[in-house]
Amino acid sequence: MSSSRELSHGELAHVVREHAGKLAASLMYVTGDFATAEDLVQDAVLAALERWPVDGIPQQPDAWLLTVARRRGIDLLRRQANYRSKLAQLEHLIQPEPDDRLRLIFTCCHPTLSREAQIALTLRVVCGLTTAQIARAFLVRESTVAQRITRAKQKIAAAGIPYRIPDDDELAERLNQVLAVIYLVLNEGYLSTADRVHERDLVDDAEWLASLLHQLMPTQPEVAGLLALIRLHRARDAARFGRDGSLILLKDQDRSLWDREAIQDAIALLSRAARQKRPGPYQLQATIVACHAEAPTFEETDWEQIVLLYDMLLGLAPSPVTRLHRAIAVRYTSGPRAAMAELDALADAFQAYHLYHATRAELLLELGRPDEAQTANRQALALTANPAERAILQERVALS
Partner 1 sequence: MSPSPRRSKEREIVKYVLLFVDDEQFAQELQAMSQTERERAYERVRQWMADNAHVIRGGNKLQGPQTATTVRLGGGEPIVTDGPFVEGKEVVSGYLEIEVEDLDAALRMVRTWPGCPIVEIRPVES
Which spans of this chain sit near partner 1 (rule: CB under 8 A)? Answer: 28-29, 32-35, 107, 110, 112, 156-164, 166, 170
Let me know: does 350 contact 324? Beta carbons within 8 Å: yes
112 or 215: whose CB is closer to partner 1?
A: 112
**Minimum gap (Å) between residue 79 Cβ and partner 1:** 12
Min dist. Cβ of residue 247 to partner 1 (A): 43
**Is the Cβ–Cβ distance between 239 and 248 less than 8 Å?**
yes
CB 302 within 8 A of CB 291: yes
Least Å distance, CB 84 to partner 1, is: 18
Using CA atoms, how far apart are residues 145 and 126, in angstroms rounded to an integer?
16
| C-alpha distance from residue 232 to each of 55, 206, 207, 225, 284 (Å) | 36, 13, 11, 10, 13
Q: Which is nearer to partner 1, 32 or 370 (CB)?
A: 32
Q: How far is the CB of 37 from partner 1 (least distance, A)?
A: 9
Comparing CB distances to partner 1, the nearer of 40 and 224 is: 40
| Ramachandran angles phi, psi of 247, nearest 5° | -75, 135
Measure the CA–CA gap between 181 and 127, rounded to whole angstroms. Answer: 13
Shortest reach from residue 170's CB to partner 1, in Å? 7
Distances (CA, A) of 192 to 43, 137, 200, 242, 387: 27, 8, 10, 16, 9
Minimum distance of partner 1 from residue 163's CB (angstroms): 5
Which of 40/57 has CB closer to partner 1?
Answer: 40
In the complex with partner 1, the residue whose CB is nearer, 170 or 395, is: 170
The minimum distance between CB 362 and partner 1, in angstroms, equals 44
CB of 86 or CB of 110, closer to partner 1:
110
Q: Which is nearer to partner 1, 56 or 166 (CB)?
A: 166
Provide the sign of the torsion angle of the four alpha carbons 369, 372, 374, 380, taken in this order: negative
Q: How far is the CB of 29 from partner 1 (least distance, A)?
A: 7
3-state secondary structure 101-129: HHHHHHHHCCCCCCHHHHHHHHHHHHCCC
**Dihedral pair phi/psi, residue 241, rounded to 5°:** -130, 140
- Amino acid letter for position 248: I
Residues 228 and 270: their CA atoms lie apart, in Å, by 6
Element (DSSP H or E) covering residue 134: helix 131-138
State residue 183 phi and psi, 5-degree precision. Answer: -60, -40
Q: How far is the CB of 161 from partner 1 (least distance, A)?
A: 5
Yes or no: say if 130 and 17 are a contact pair by the CB < 8 Å rule: no
Q: How far is CA 147 from CA 35, 39, 112, 153, 306, in A?
A: 13, 14, 17, 10, 42
Q: Residue 190 CB: number of other CB atoms within 10 A? A: 17
> CB-wise, 115 or 164, nearer to partner 1?
164
Kindly tell me which of 170 and 252 has the beta carbon lying closer to partner 1.
Answer: 170
The smaller minimum CB distance to partner 1, of residues 69 and 152, is found at: 152
Shortest Cβ distance from residue 45 to partner 1 (Å)?
20
